[in-house]
Amino acid sequence: MKKILLLFLMLVLTAHSQLKWELIGANPTYNDIKGSWSFNDSTMIIVGTSGMCMKTTNSGASWIRGEINGTAAYLSGVCFPTPDYGYIFDSDRNFYQSTDGGLTWSFKYFMNEYEPTAIAFKDSLTGFWGIGNRLRRTTNGGSSWTSLQSLYGDMNCVKFVGNTLYVSCYRQYNFHRLYRSTDMGASWDTLYRDDYKGIKALDVNSRGDIFVGGTYFVARSTTNGTTWEILPSPTYEITDIEFLDDTTIAIGGTGAYISRNLGTTFTHVQDGANLWQVEAAGNNTFLMGRSGTIFRSTDKGLNWTVVNKMGYGAHYAACFLSRDTGFLSGMEIRYGNGNNYLKKTTDGCRTWTDIPFPAGGVPAREIYFLKNGTTGFLHRDREIMRTVDGGMTWATVTAPLNANDTLRKFFFRDDLNGYIASFNQYYFKTTDGGLNWTREQINTSSSLMEFYFLNEQVGFVTRKNNIVAKTTNGGLTWSDKHFSTSGKALGINFVNDQYGFVYATENGAYTISQGEAWMLTNSSIPKMLDVDHCDNLNGIAIIWADPHPYSFHVGKTRDGETWMRQSLPVQRVEPAFIELADRTTGYIFASNNVIIKLTDTALTSVEEEYVLPHEFTLSQNYPNPFNPETVIRYVLPASGYVKGIVYDFLGREVATLIDGEKSAGSHEIKFNA
């Protein structure tokens, strides 16, 4: 038998595409909001976790993303002394400046000490920055900073009210202070001190009344800070305070409250838990906080509307019938209770209609529809359900499931014959379109994962322990085909009758012999978190970017083998799974009920029969060793001149197999030695 070295000299053009992303259902964000700034009653900037910076100019109806050098750090302390000039810092001790109203930001300074806690600017040049128990001052717009005297406690709030600078300090157990300076920090008056109650937020009204708050603590002074009155705190921790007028106060923190009598009594804002930020300008008042939640009032807190509210819970499964029509299951947690749901969308996940679904148990963990779009299946716990009216009603079907069964993914090779693996050596099979299911067994000690059939007779099922089982008689008997990888198999797909792939969390495997032999893939098949295909060529995947769970790329394939990787400039999120609706559109479903829509901008029509790969790929010849014939497969991203030469181990030319123009797409060559 001969084993040869193959060398191909390929002259091709390369075509790249881009995935456009869109955040669905979170306007403007699903990240925690940790800072805000109002320019007027319609224009506001918010910042928060994972480098989030967003701006609205229409009271929150729409938002624009501010670009901050791709940082993913915690942003806070946003401040705009003029409509154009603004400043912000992050948890990595970086200081940024904007000169266009917050649309773009440039790095200005790095503070190589402690993490900053508060910031305030009097004008575009003069500002103060709280670092631990020290206050820094700049007079040149942040290019350089000088240290002022140390103050007692870590600085929680640095705030200008007119020309007067207020600084609150907090230190655990003792040394809690409120300071005031009327000469830009040259000298300070101590307005308030308490060894037990720390000040974390403050505001001053037009009469000079001061209102402060912290942990289980609020106090007010109607004598410009000379005397103080301790009041009952409405919530555990207060993080922000704003006067809406001289007697009306809005409080943000672990709970959100409104007082109309200078803090004597408070009214709780419904659903106002963990709204840490208050922003007021003109007729608008905003409460903002956890998971991008934003409430808005135009009547000083009498009534509130929801600008954005992300529900707490998790997505479990989704299935799409077209680009915009699909189903989603999951659980929403509200007031400590978990509620299962099944929903349908017809506008690309923008709005959802509830589908009647049995209460109790767990949500549907898998949803699958036949090509006719009216017959579908789902499973949850140890129950298989079926619909025949496009998903509007569901009924339980006959299936002998027991307590040890954990069902995986459905696969139907036609409208009658379907399979679903259980997380053991058993699987379930139907021959009547899913009305009845029978229990079948494959003699193996490892769990079954996912089925795939090429035709009525030839099929495969992936298993743990790096095994693909194959049948050539419609599932009557199965034989094991091994490959070596440490990862978990996520999916299986065949490009044609001979060429197929197993995708995995580590190195996957491929075959060019209809599954008789499997070999580890090269680096063009990445490590994946989840993968989905809409046909035998087009797929989409969540790809590991690094070990951090929030760092991922999106991969897109148009030939089943070569994957275009793209990191999305989206706020960091923990992805759960990905679904491909058609060749152009996919959806990522993530934590906190986040949905990200992906659109392949290189494709203009879903009627295309073939979509080009983004780079040239040469696959391992098979068989190798061989006698006397082997097959070589390669993929071209665009039409071009191709020359393929075979050399032996001594570098001598053996044969020229290709020499001329070739069209874009997949090609195979037979070489007979």
Cβ contact 444:467 at 8 Å:
yes
Q: Which residue has the tokens 């010849």?
A: 621
Q: Which residue has the tokens 């191709």?
A: 642
Q: Supply the pLDDT for residue 1.
A: 39
Report the alpha-carbon distance of residue 299 to residue 136 in Å, rounded: 38
Q: What is the pTM of this model?
A: 0.69
**49 φ/ψ angles, rounded to the nearest 5 degrees:** -70, 160
Report the alpha-carbon distance of residue 192 to residue 207 in Å, rounded: 18
Cβ contact 193:203 at 8 Å:
no
Report the alpha-carbon distance of residue 302 to residue 304 in Å, rounded: 7
Expressed in angstroms, the distance from the first to the final Cα of the chain is: 10
pLDDT by 10-residue block (mean), the chain, 673 residues: 40 51 77 92 90 90 81 84 93 91 92 82 92 86 84 81 89 75 91 82 94 91 94 92 96 95 93 88 92 92 87 85 94 70 93 84 92 94 92 94 90 95 88 95 80 94 84 91 74 88 83 87 72 86 68 79 73 79 90 83 44 59 70 75 72 78 78 76
Q: Supply the pLDDT for residue 100.
A: 95
User: Which is nearest to 241 in space by CA: 207, 200, 206, 269?
Assistant: 200
Q: How far is CA 322 from CA 203, 459, 578, in A?
A: 53, 27, 15
Q: Supply the pLDDT for residue 606.
A: 35
Please enumerate in sequence order all residues whose Cβ is within 8 A of that of 61, keeping only pairs 6 or more positions apart, or say none. none
**420 φ/ψ angles, rounded to the nearest 5 degrees:** -150, 130
Cβ contact 119:77 at 8 Å:
yes
Report the alpha-carbon distance of residue 469 to residue 443 in Å, rounded: 10
Report the alpha-carbon distance of residue 243 to residue 161 in Å, rounded: 12
Report the alpha-carbon distance of residue 571 to residue 577 in Å, rounded: 17
User: Which is nearest to 567 in space by CA: 546, 538, 596, 545?
Assistant: 545
Tokens of 592: 């906190």
Report the alpha-carbon distance of residue 9 to residue 19 in Å, rounded: 30
Beta strands at 146-150 and 154-161: parallel, antiparallel or unpaired: unpaired
Q: How far is CA 338 from CA 157, 179, 221, 359, 466, in A?
A: 38, 46, 44, 10, 37
Q: Supply the pLDDT for residue 15.
A: 41
Report the alpha-carbon distance of residue 587 to residue 526 in Å, rounded: 19
Please list the residues that pair with 160 across neighbouring strands. 165
Please enumerate in sequence order all residues whose Cβ is within 8 A of that of 401, keeping only pairs 6 or more positions apart, or say none. 382, 383, 384, 407, 428
Q: What are the contacts of 374-383 at 24+ separation with CB within 8 A? A: 375/415, 375/433, 375/434, 376/319, 376/327, 377/410, 377/418, 377/434, 378/317, 378/329, 378/342, 379/407, 379/410, 379/420, 380/329, 382/407
Tokens of 214: 């912290």
Q: Supply the pLDDT for residue 484.
A: 67
Cβ–Cβ contacts within 10 Å for residue 235, how many?
A: 21
Could you tell me the residue ranges of all domains in the chain? 5-16+629-672
Q: Supply the pLDDT for residue 30.
A: 79
Q: Supply the pLDDT for residue 590.
A: 83
Q: How far is CA 98 from CA 76, 85, 350, 486, in A?
A: 14, 6, 33, 48
